[in-house]
Structure formats: C-alpha cells, structure tokens
Structure 1
C-alpha cells in the first residue's frame, strides 16, 4: 500500500505519537488510583450514565432501545441526543456498562480520550492532504486535541463527536475538491453518516455548514463549481440514508409536534441587541475558545506567521479569513445572524453553545495556519521584507514579554499566566531565526508547545477537582460517587410511576431527566402543556435552554398533575372532547382548552381529541398483567352496558400501536398528552406496542445504503469523462 512506503514512515511515526499523546496526558483519568479518578465534565457523565444503563438493560432483554417508559411520562430514545443506541462507537460503552462504579468510570473516561485520539489522527491526515509536513501536522493535532476545542468537546458527547469527526470530514471534502474521483465523496458520506447517527442535529448542521463554506471558498470566482456541489450532495444523501432510522423518526416528531414546540425555537428580538455582539467581540479572552487556561499561546505565535507573511499563506487564506471574520462577528453572540439563517427556522431546535460552534469554524483553520507557520521555518526567510517583518513582529513580542517579567513580576509569577514565558521563549527563537542564527528550531518550538499544552491540562485537573468538590453528587471520591449514582439509578428505574423509591414524584426527579431530550421533545417530556406559555408559568420563561426544569404548580392544572403522578392505567367510561374540534395548539383555543383542563377531574373524566361524549361508570385503576420496556399487555373485563376507554398514562407519540384481542385497534390521543383505546364489554386483551414505521423502514434503508457505499468504495470509479491531471 502507498501509505507504507518508506517516505511515509516519518508521517506514520508522528501520527502514532499524536494519537498516543492524549492517552499520556490524560492517564490519571483512566489508570490513576480510584480515590483520585476524575471526570472530564459532569454534564457529559450526567447525560450518558442514565442512557448507558437504559441501553444495557434493553440489550440484556434482547430488545431495541426505542422507548424509555421510566423517565417522566415516557419519550422515545430515538430523539435523545445522549442516546448511545445508534452511534456505533458508543455501543461498546453501553455494552460495558457495569454498576461497579470505578470500572465504568475508567471506561467512560477512556471513551472520551479515544475520541481525542481519533481527532488527532484526523488532523494529521488533513494536514498531510494540504501538503503540510508531518511535524506541522503533529503541531496542528496537538492544538486541536489539547486545547479549547477539546475542552469544549468534553462538555457533552454530541460536541465531542464533532471534535473527532470534523477533521476527517474536512479532509475528505478537500480531497474531493482537488481530485476528480468519486472516492473522497463516498468516504465523506461514510463519515457524515457516522456523525449523523449521533442524532444531534446542531453539530451535524454546523459541520455541514463548515464544509459548504469550504466549497464556496475554494470555488470563489470559478465559472463551473457544479461538480463539487454534486459530490457534496451525494455525501449528504448517503449520510441521511445511513442515519435513516433515527432521522426519519426525528423528522416525524418535528412535523407532528411543530406547533406544540413553537416556544422552544421562538427567538426573542433581544438576541439581535448590538450589546451582545460588542460584548463578544471586544472581550474574547473571557470565552473558552480563546481562554489561556485552556489554550496554549504557542499556537497563536505560529499562526501569526501566515497571517503576516504572504508567502506562508495557504491558497485559500483570503477566503477563510473573510469567513472567519464573519463567523466571529456574527457567530460569537448569543444568536447567529448569518450562519444560523437556516438553523433559525429549523422546527423544534434552539441555538445553543456558541463556543462549540466557534471552535469548529475557527479551530480547524487555525490548525492549518499553525502547520503552515511551522513549515515556513524550514528555511531562511524567502525575502528581505519577510525577514524584516518577522524580526519586527517577534522581536517586539519577545521584548514586551521580557519587560513585563521585569516590571510586573508579581503578576507574571501567577501560574495561570505561564503563557507569557512561552511567548517569550518562542518569540526569541523566531527572532533569532529571522537573523539566520537558528535555522533548525522547528522541533524545539513543537516541544515547547507540547510541554505548554501538557502543563495546561495538568492545571485543568485542579479545576476539575474544584468542579467535583462543588457538585453535590460528584464531589466525594470515586467509590461514593458511583455507589450513590448506581443506587439512584436502580431505585429510580425500579420505582413506581406515582412515587419512586427515592420518595420523589417521577415528574420532579430532576437528576434522571437531566439527559436532555431534544428541545422539540421537551413539551412531551413535560406533558406538552408547557408549550402553552405564560398562562401556566405565571410569568416564568418556558422557552429557555433549561426550560425542562420548570414545573407547573398544582394551582395551574391540579387535575392533570394528579393524573400524571397517579396510577398508570385507568378504565374510564365518562368522556368528553377537547373544547374545540380544532387542535388545542391553536392560539384561539388555548384559553378555553386550559380552562377546561384546569376544571376537569381527569381521574374521573377522559378528554378525547375526537369522538362523542359518553357517560358510563368508571372502573378505575387497573393492574398490569405484563409490562416490559416496549410492550404493555392487559387482560381487562368490561361489564355489560357500554364500552370503557383504557387510558395509559404514558406520552402519545407517532409509532405507538394498539391491538384488541390480536386485531388492530384505533389509538386515540387522550387528555392531550396520553393514549387510550376503546374496549367493548366483555373480557379482552389489550396490547400497546411502540414500533415506529419510519424506523422499521429506515433500518432497511441503512443497510442497503451501507452495502452500496462499501461496493462504491471498492470500485470508486472516476468522474465520467474526467481523468486526473487532464
């Protein structure tokens, strides 16, 4: 194979080193004594732990983890951003789930580090494809995996996946732009398919937007840019087909519940306040993507070379700088104005975590600039003007740092400002290089950068310890942390719906619902009615990112709260219909509907979306004959007279089906949130089953797409009528 040729041995060696360095710098997160084990970020663990348990429990029963009936009023795992069911690299994490606290914590941390390693390898190949030397690629890999981008990635699994796969996606895109073959676009489709299978649309959207911006930059001013867009479309079509099981169900969710979720993605005009933009623009050091506590200054010094020296710039430099300026000015605020123009109107989602987005846009171009800057140091400056420019720039920086160390030493000695010494050392080396006195400084500069970034990460451990000490569930040592977490998990899942073993109503068990559903599902998770706004919340804001922590008080909808925290199954004969034949989401019907919900005893009267009212004796709560994670089966007896409605207090969602004595039965939406089926007099068996049709079809589509992709990668014919070099 070409990669194993002797000329690539240096690249392979540095690539292996770049992959192994994250393991070295984070060894204490995996191999340290159990009393000293740390978490990368409590949010990442809080989101994933519950779903790892959930997935493991499903798998042990031989079932697919499609619906979680235990959390709140039930919602589909298909729309959970931290769900590990459909992202292939996460399957091992779920299968390895063990109540043993220390063991799983080590596996959990190793899983994060493996994504750092994957990101490092991706940057190495990206740099190689751009003609950057192996040493320059190595420097870029360290910048990407031991810096702000990495720290942002540990904030949540979804952004960690973007950190790991974005370099690979950009690498294959650039290969597709430079070589007239199908193969890079097929490889890009595979990478995007893996990323899309995470089911987290924001990071998928931003990676795709980054790729589209790259095509615009590379084809600016050209007359025939159609071919790259065809490849781009092919790659995304493959990605959508590979992720069809989850994306199809998510699309169905967004379409069906778009009206109910409107407050989630409604944008306040205050987001366009210029004060937000000015704050982000003039104080960048306050934010993670530029914070020295997370990002080494050495990378910026190397990036200054292509910024100021034209001969060191990549050919796409002007386009990327313009793009970076636009993203920085308009993308660093709370709301985006340009790059989120489409995302602004995507139903059911809300812009969040702008620093992750900025890391993707500015981080990868910075990686290339660092590699280019390091490669520029191979030889002496190509011209006298370059030499004078480099000498002035880095001489000024070195002199400034030296004066600061002398005049303000009491400030410089603070450990968080150690970057001054790195700037002083590297600036002095670069000034000597401009004078022709240090022609072989590249390895020394890289060594200083690695030591600096490693020191930064060692400093991070203290911050992590402070975080754990202040976090109520995770501050008391590994054994106690996980013993409590495992106990909480078991007691929560095995508790009853009305009151779990912790003595907490299920609807208010915040620790268990912290695994965020996608924003579109919050209205299901909090019985849809949260979407009706201020009348329920009495002035509270239901549309914020943390909106799932708001709960309606008992005075707002007492009957609904009693029903949601009571028995799971009821047989009710008294029925009424919604106040209007139209959807209650209609603003004109909102007041009447809320008044009806507030004045109705829902434990005695069933509100149906359609049908005719009836008045029959209620049979009350019912005992389950069989209940598992995806099926509910009951044997019920209805006395002669009139039919009763079997109400299951569990969220209604597309994909639920009901059968009566083995025959399909209509499933109705009841009490706006739940599901019910009519049962005639006599002895009958009712079965509820969650089987989304789009998921069933999506599985076949996924395997067909993967098979076709593998065949295409094996054949990878060239573009019709095009030959390399022609």
Structure 2
C-alpha cells in the first residue's frame, strides 16, 4: 500500500513513462531470443517478407540517406521502381528514419531492423493503455487492454513478418485516444491537432489498408462518442475535419505519390474477386483454438474473452460500440464469403482498392482488448452473488475443457498412425484451453480472498501467460538471414563490368531479388506487393530471352547447371553459378526505326521475335523530330548513373531514338544539352528520347511533381494546424450523456 501511495504521488508523465518502459520490457522479453547474446540461444525472424522485402528496403533507404539523398527511386529491382511512392517502404516514417540515422552508418544490420518489432508492440500496448484508462478512468483496465492488444494473436502473428502492418496497427489505439481527448468528456479541443499528427503517422507508417481501417474506426468512434458526450454535430464535424482531415492532408507528401503510383501499378484495376479475398469460414475456430490451421491472428486469449463477456454482461461504457466493431470485423474478415463485404465494397471509399480482408482481424483484436479492460473494472465491482456465479462458471469451463481434451485425445488416437496427425494442432489447442481454464478458476478463487490489487496482478499475469505461451516462438527461426548476404561475392565478376548491366536469377529463394540493392547488383525482378503494371506483365510473360534483351540482362544467377546456348559460366560459389549472357543489349542504345503503335500498344508487339529491339523501337506517340529507318547506328555510352539520375552521351549521323532499358514512370524528366526533352514510353514499359543528329549529352533525373505537390499540401496543412493551436480556446463543456 505504501509503495502504491508513493507511486501515486509521482507526476503522471513519470508514471506513464514507467508504464511505457514496462511494456517495452515485456516486448523485449517476448522476443528475447532475437537479441540473445549466446549464439546457441539466438534466433532470427524466419525467412519471409521481413527478410526478403522489409530488410532490403530499410537497408537501401539507410544507404541512400547516408549518401545525402532522399530514396525516391530504386534502380536495383524491376528495371527501376518508385521507392518512396511505394507506401510499404515507409520512406518518410519518423521511427524508421530514426533507426536509419542512428544505426545506418556502414549499412543497417538485420538485428537493428528487428528492434522495430518490440518497439511497435510496446507502442501499440501503451496506446491501448492510454485509451482504455481515459475511457474507463482506471489504470488497471488500461494495463489489461494494453497487454491484450499489444501481445494478442494478431499483432504477434504475421504482422511481425509484414512490418508495415505492425507499424500502422500500432497507431490505431493512439488515434482513438486522441479522438477521446478531443470529443469525449473533459475534452481538450486542441487534441484534434494531436489526432492529425497521429493520423499522419499511421499513414506514412506504410500499410495503407490498415491505416484506412484505423481512420474509419476513428471516424465512427468520433461520432458515437461525441453524441454520447452531448456534443453537437458542429463540434463533431470540426474535430473530424481538423483531426482526421488534417492528418490526411499532413500525410499528403506520401499519399499523392502513392496515388500516382497506384494509377500505373498492378493495383490500378483490382477485381471484386481479388478484393473479396479473406478468411475461409472454416478459419473462424481460430478465435478459440490458437493453433488452428497454424494461424493465430484471430486468437485474443481465453482470459480476454472471459473479461469481455463480463463487460457485455454488465454493459459498461462503449460496450455496444465495441461489440458491434468485433462482430463487423469478423464478418468482413471473411471477405466475399458473406454479403456484408459487398456492401462496404460499394459504399465505403477505398475498400475496393485493397485485398486480403482477413487483416480486419486487427479491429477484432482491439475490440476484444477494450472489452477485456472494461471487464476488469466490472469484475472489481461485482457483488458477492455475481462473484459466485463467475466462480461456478469458471469451474464449469475447466470441466468442459477437460472433457474436450479427452474427446480430442480419443480422436487423435484413432489417427496416431498418420504422420502428420491431422488432429495434432487441435490437441495442442485443447490441452492449452484446459490449462488456462484451470489456471483462471484457481486464480479467481485466490484473488477473491486477497483484494483488488491482487486481483489485478493475477489477471494481468494470467493474460500475459495466455498470450505469451501461444505465440512466443512464432516467426522465429535458427536460419541466419545474413547467410543470404554471403552470396554477394558470386557477383564480383558482374560488378567489374564497365558498362551498366542487370542480373536475372532463376531461383528467388536462393537469390532474393530485393537483396540486389544490398549487393548493388541490379536485377530485372523484384518482390513488392505493388509493381508497375507493365513491368509486371513483361516479367510474368515468361519470354526470358526477349526479356533479357529488353532489360539489359548480362548475367544469369542459377542454383542448377545450365547448358543453354548463349550462356557462358563465369563464376561458381558452391552450388551457386553465374553465367554471362552472350549477345545482350546495353543499358542504352539508339535506333532509327521507331514504329508508332497508338492506344498503349500491346505486350505482344515487343515480344514478337520477328522484331529485334536492338534495331526497332515501339513507341506510343509521335517523336518530336522525324526519325527515318536506314541510317547508321549512333554511338551511345552511359557515362554517369546513380539512383534517380543518368547521363548518356550520344553521337549519330542521323536523328534517332535513344532507348534506355529502365522502367518508364511519371516523374522522369530528360534534358538534351540542357534543354528539356519529352520522354516517350518505349517498348511497352521503358524510356525513350528522340535525339537529333550530332553529338549530344542526354540527362535524365527522377523529379516527381507528385512529391512536390504532396509536400506543398503537407506544408500548408502543418501551417494550418499550428494556427489551430493558437486559436483562442473556448471553455469546453464537460457535460455528457450517461
């Protein structure tokens, strides 16, 4: 008691800082094996999106920032890729920028990026703590909510691999906390500015779909909580415009380039069937069975469910709202398997832009966590009779769980000769259910006799044990991803090339294409959920030899012996081989036969084997100067190249079309001898510039207008939000509807 009183006398900011450190400590304990000193205990994030996408992206961004350049264009993958416009790279995300600046000197290490995982779990837990404490007026409820959300089945499952989801999901409870402060009882009107900042953070964090979920949830909560607190529609609208609208405007520096990218990407035309993909209905037992089908994203903890039921029973504040959120999140997470998705697909802007609706489990997880926190408050105020009911229910649940275990063991024994046994995961979940049910029954019996403080400690302990035990080894592997980087010496021969080149790999598992940025060995493929559509169509065509010509592929990396005509073995490292491609085309060359095919052309035109791309180029609009076939070939040399820049010298006796084997994309600009020149979309997906006879210097730079426009909107939004802070504050009403 004396210790609790001493803590209560500390300033709230100190206590809150201690709470955040506590959550961060829990997160480090959860993932302690990622940072173990003993090599025998050391584990790594298992091979997947984290190793093959997010680490190469983070490494490239850190390298570019270290060189004094904003990473706008990645020349190492897919013939060139709009790096900053791709939202999942999180180029402008402050947390990632901080890690890049602190650790990026000399190359960002894999372990240093892994720090983002416990950091964002702690941010998620702390945001949920602040929000629940504000709503329920109880710190213990906040701790239970923070543990339930921050370490629940969703955030600790595949978002650990898909770091962009984890980053954006961590800010959702912060959004709701700022909404509560700006419109709820005891509101602070200037909290809408904080809401705008958090909304912008959730957007630039990298996962647009998760950000959209958070913004829609915040808008709904703003309306419900505002009316519940007695606010007029005008006050609600002002908070929404300043907070949510201001946040979107503040993030325009990311949103505008991303919209431009989406227009020419594989997401430009997403069909209903693609957007409607979600959980199968048979995945829903995973709500109760943490090992069901190897997926634990729906699992929110048995103790969390029990406390949520108490909250529903007692009908605490905002219970109906969170119950509706939980039900809707489950319904929509199965995508097109229910008609509910059809409604949001047509009525809610943005929903038709994204696939994988199972990611709505993030809102299910948050809703259960909020009701669990409210349930703890309700438990502390139950009558003696109600406690007896819960005790009986807890004992009954334990008995039922044991019966389920017996039945599953019988079912397992009938299939014990099958390897793997299809009942294995069900048996694991059933045994775990029984253990937690017994622990909860014993804890409830003990805590009732020890007082409120012990009750809180016991509940938090059981919640942590439940969630930590089911997921602590998820996403971990003994495989050291740094072994991928050890394959870099294979490309030493290629890096000695005096002219630009690209490498093609026939085994992305052996040679992850995004690691090309780390190896500084450009490739024609890449691994990103969003790609330039025409580049993706070409790569997916399978017309390898023609693609090697179009993409300036001079080397093939292979894990098998290749006897193809036109390949020459030049290096070998164990089972990995590097072949030189004979008769390849350079990065830039000139043609005097430019054939105009309007209306976008067809992919078949550039794959036609009767047309050699070294002699003929296909363009989609008339060049600015006449180009006639038959003239002698011009001399072309790339004299300078770095991310987002290229200089080419050309000397020809006749007008020609300079063809550059780099991806066409809005934002690339060209100058001939310092004078602006138009860039033509050439050979379906590449760049071309019409150049007159004579000696010329052609410069190309990536300077997207969309970035400048977005930055201007963000700057204006920043000024307006600062102005809002200095608007004289009117006395805020604290009256609210009960």
In the alignment, does 2:35 pair up with 1:30? yes
State the distance in 2 between where 1:209 and 1:288 align: 30
State the distance in 1 between where 2:223 and 2:658 align: 57
Q: Which residue of 1 aligns with 2:56?
A: 50
In the alignment, does 2:588 pair up with 1:601? no
Distance 1:693 1:623, change over 3 A: same
State the distance in 2 between where 1:272 and 1:73 align: 30
Deviates more, 1:689-698 or 1:55-64: 55-64
Q: Which residue of 1 aligns with 2:486?
A: 483
Q: Which residue of 2 aligns with 1:90?
A: 96
State the distance in 1 between where 2:491 and 2:376 align: 50
Q: Aligned ranges for residues 120-139 of structure 1 at < 5 Å? A: 120-139=125-144
Q: Which residue of 2 aligns with 1:554?
A: 543
Q: Which residue of 1 aligns with 2:694?
A: 682
Work out the number of aligned pairs and report it: 658
Q: Which residue of 2 aligns with 1:209?
A: 216
State the distance in 1 between where 2:66 and 2:456 align: 53
In the alignment, does 2:524 pair up with 1:523? no
Which of these residues, 168, 174, 197, is aligned with residue 190 of structure 1?
197
TM-score under structure 1 length normalisation = 0.80
Distance 1:620 1:157, change over 3 A: farther
Distance 1:59 1:493, change over 3 A: farther
Q: Which residue of 2 aligns with 1:569?
A: 588
In the alignment, does 2:359 pair up with 1:356? yes
In the alignment, does 2:79 pair up with 1:73? yes
Deviations 1:28-55 (A, max 9, x none): 2124334543233532232122222322
Q: Which residue of 2 aligns with 1:227?
A: 235
Kept after mapping to 1: 8 A contact 2:286/2:298:
no
Shift of 1:22: 1.1
In the alignment, does 2:282 pair up with 1:279? yes
Kept after mapping to 2: 8 A contact 1:58/1:64:
yes
Shift of 1:616: 3.7
Shift of 1:282: 5.9
SS at match of 1:500: strand
State the distance in 2 between where 1:480 and 1:95 align: 25
State the distance in 1 between where 2:236 and 2:491 align: 49
SS at match of 1:610: coil
State the distance in 2 between where 1:281 and 1:457 align: 18
State the distance in 2 between where 1:346 and 1:271 align: 10
SS at match of 2:45: coil
State the distance in 1 between where 2:446 and 2:275 align: 51
Q: Which residue of 1 aligns with 2:599?
A: 582
Shift of 1:355: 3.5
Q: Which residue of 2 aligns with 1:376?
A: 378
In the alignment, does 2:429 pair up with 1:423? no
State the distance in 2 between where 1:494 and 1:219 align: 65
TM-score under structure 2 length normalisation = 0.78
SS at match of 1:130: helix
Shift of 1:343: 6.6
Shift of 1:419: 3.7
State the distance in 1 between where 2:59 and 2:65 align: 10
Which of these residues, 249, 256, 259, is aligned with residue 248 of structure 1?
256
State the distance in 2 between where 1:45 and 1:67 align: 21
In the alignment, does 2:624 pair up with 1:637? no
State the distance in 1 between where 2:273 and 2:63 align: 41
State the distance in 1 between where 2:355 and 2:90 align: 23
Shift of 1:270: 11
Distance 1:132 1:524, change over 3 A: farther
State the distance in 1 between where 2:733 and 2:505 align: 68
Shift of 1:279: 3.1
SS at match of 2:69: coil
Shift of 1:487: 5.6
State the distance in 2 between where 1:88 and 1:718 align: 30
Kept after mapping to 2: 8 A contact 1:73/1:651:
yes
Instruction: Judging by fraction of residues, say which structure has more strand.
Output: 2
Kept after mapping to 2: 8 A contact 1:124/1:141:
yes
Shift of 1:100: 8.2
Kept after mapping to 1: 8 A contact 2:74/2:643:
yes
Q: Which residue of 1 aligns with 2:368?
A: 366
State the distance in 2 between where 1:459 and 1:63 align: 38
